[in-house]
Amino acid sequence: MRSVRSPDFDGVTFHEVHARSVLNKVPSGSGVPFGWTVNPYRGCSHACTYCLEGGTRILMADGRTKALSELKVGDTIYGTRGHGASRRLVPTRVEAHWTTLRAAYRVTLEDGTRLVAGGDHRFLTSKGWKHVTGSKFGAAQRPHLEPGTELIGVGRFEPTPDETLGYRAGYLCGMLRSGGFAAEADAAARALEYLPDFGASVGFLQVPPEPDAHWQRGFLAGVFDLAGDFGRGVLAVAHDEPEIVEAFAAALTRFGFAHQIDEVPKFPARQEVRLLGGTAEVLRFLHVSNPAVGWKRSLDGAVIGASRRRVEAIEPLGLQLPLFDITTGTGDFIADGMVSHNCFARNTHTYLDFDAGRDFDTQVVVKINAPQVLAAQLKKPSWRREHVAMGTNTDPYQRAEGRYRLMPGIITALARSGTPLSVLTKGTVLTRDLPLLRDVSADVPVSLAVSLALLDGELQHRLEPGTPSPRARLELIRKARDAGLPCSVLVAPVLPWLTDSPEALDTLFARLAEAGASSVTVIPLHLRPGAREWFGRWLAATYPALVPRYRELYARGSYVQKAYRERLGERVAPLLRRHGLAPKTGFDARAASVPEQREEVPEAEQLRLL
């Protein structure tokens, strides 16, 4: 319906949507003790996870380039829009910028360009978007790059010239002999910066008999700034001095630019030099010469197509590298001359795994009609009043709930239909609804669970920014029990060598027992795709000495080694019994405390806590 920003939620965008359905069936075989879930809020997953090396050059809206790692939110760069069988360059803003550690691949093009990217990254080819690597075999294989694949783009980026003394002399010659300070403030400012280098001499006004490459680059820029233009796909320079036209054409030839020289009928003494080759050559000219006048550098609306640059090889580098990605308004950007897909945050993305920081906290999709839609779904004769669990994917009591107040209507709809319900949350906003939950518990079974993994406030703030403090969550448990409601605690995720010591767990369990927790379930950290990259970056920055040990523990996939789970179970079981917190089930306490997690059908699959 609309996207909203509020001063009360700095940096957060709420995407308000009308949902068609909010009652979701849990996939069979998920290994969880409930079949249905309701999520009134959803985060926004990025379509292609973290993509390119930080040094990758990105095309800015002024025609210049900047390293991907140096981009900032709010920068204006070029993206593309479809235009028949081709695409047009359009300015777009950087809406988000982040990085992670990820397995890297080198994509080498036939012209020698090398792009380092994650396997999930996508480039636009003559046959549509393709990932850097495939993911499966046979018919299920996703479209991916192969040797010979032709990429769409604007051609190879050329390095911009250094502002040597020769470049400055060439610029002043071209600029002053094409109109001087009469117009173009950008050109005048550059000339005033360069003039002091030459003192009282005016020798730079002469074209050298054998100019070097530096001088010619500057000369191209100076002439273009005063006598050039780019429009309707054509870059041209018109000049009255034959010597300048000849020198301009000679410089173009030196750098390999195809061009033609025409007479101007209306002005017999004037000649026009036109650059040939389309948008790719115009951009190369801007990079080779680096003119100063901003409006003449604009490529808005320029048409691009097949770049004639083909993939030569795709090679795994065999190591993880810091890779960067952005979100843009067009969903793409130009990376080293190639049209590159970005991780575009939008409200139609499927929820995967979010860290407790940027991704989860800055793009919140709100199903503003959730109570009404749920009430209608629960009235259907086919509804069997099965248990509905909330908080299994996204927290229903995150900060947005204080603004939108969707949960009271959802709780009331479930209770009126006779549907048992449970809530898992980290959010203290739940306190507001404790009286309502206490009232409806007289009609339907109600259970609460609070997620609390550690007591160290500093570590919690670094690991789960934006979530309530451990003290606040302990108080929430106490208030829930005072309201007469059962409230279990999910100690998850337990972090190997950080929060798993007997002393840390014993202290935590003691505080939970003091707060009145009904029971405790302990789950060690699991690192699904998405969470794995975020956590890896966090760990490398915060506890680099632990990185090799974590790599060993999680070498086989998302779940920690079985031996570690068994050791944790042996440590946890007696502590839970000591504090009277063992889960009230018919299962062995150790098995219930540390679920046996398998890659094929993992336990606690829906408890996506990172």
pLDDT at 84 over 50: yes
pLDDT of residue 90: 94
pLDDT level of residue 327 (50, 70, 90 thresholds): confident
CATH of domain 52-158+304-341: 2.170.16.10
pLDDT at 5 over 90: no
pLDDT of residue 588: 32
pLDDT level of residue 127 (50, 70, 90 thresholds): confident
How many other C-beta atoms are found inside a 10 Å radius of the C-beta of residue 108?
Answer: 15
The 8-class DSSP code of residue 559 comes to B
pLDDT of residue 54: 83
Distance CA 58, CA 70 (A): 10
pLDDT of residue 402: 87
At position 445, the amino acid (one-letter code) is P
pLDDT at 320 over 80: no
Query: Which residues of the chain are in CATH 2.170.16.10 domains?
Result: 52-158+304-341
User: Measured in Å, how far apart are the chain's first and last C-alpha atoms?
Assistant: 29
135-154 pLDDT, tens digit each: 644 444 678 999 999 999 99
pLDDT of residue 601: 29
Burial class (CB in 10 A: 0-12, 13-18, 19+), 310: middle
* Greater model confidence, 32 or 450: 450
Query: Which residues of the chain are in CATH 3.10.28.10 domains?
Result: 165-289
Burial class (CB in 10 A: 0-12, 13-18, 19+), 552: exposed
At position 558, the amino acid (one-letter code) is S
pLDDT at 557 over 50: yes
Least confident of 159-173, 194-208, 252-266, 274-288: 194-208
pLDDT level of residue 357 (50, 70, 90 thresholds): very low
Distance CA 610, CA 142 (A): 27
Q: Extract the tokens encoding 90.
A: 């359009």
Host H or E run for residue 101: strand 86-109
Report the pLDDT averaged over residues 542-559: 88
Instruction: Report H helices in 177-321.
Output: 185-194, 213-227, 242-254, 279-289
510-537 pLDDT, tens digit each: 999 999 999 998 989 888 765 676 788 7
Percent of the chain residues topping a pLDDT of 90 = 53
pLDDT of residue 258: 96
pLDDT level of residue 380 (50, 70, 90 thresholds): very high
* Greater model confidence, 318 or 553: 553
pLDDT at 606 over 60: no
* Greater model confidence, 10 or 521: 521
Beta partners for 295?
A: none
Mutual angle of helices 185-194 and 165-176, in 10-degree steps? 130
Average pLDDT, the chain: 84
Contact 424, 457 (CB under 8 A): no
pLDDT at 48 over 60: no
pLDDT at 2 over 90: no
Q: Extract the tokens encoding 151.
A: 């990429």
Instruction: Report H helices in 39-155.
Output: none
The fold of the 445-593 domain, in CATH, is: pyruvate-formate lyase- activating enzyme (3.80.30)
146-179 pLDDT, tens digit each: 999 999 999 889 988 999 999 999 999 999 999 8
pLDDT of residue 252: 97
Beta partners for 15?
A: 3, 365
Host H or E run for residue 152: strand 150-153
Distance CA 17, CA 14 (A): 9
Least confident of 121-130, 348-357, 496-505: 348-357
pLDDT of residue 307: 65
Which CATH architecture fits 165-289? Roll (3.10)
Query: Which residues of the chain are in CATH 3.80.30.30 domains?
Result: 445-593
Least confident of 9-13, 447-451, 548-552: 9-13
Least confident of 7-11, 349-353, 489-493: 349-353
pLDDT level of residue 449 (50, 70, 90 thresholds): very high
pLDDT at 111 over 80: yes
Measured CA angle at 495 (ends 490, 497), to 5 deg = 140
576-605 pLDDT, tens digit each: 999 999 865 432 333 333 433 333 323 333
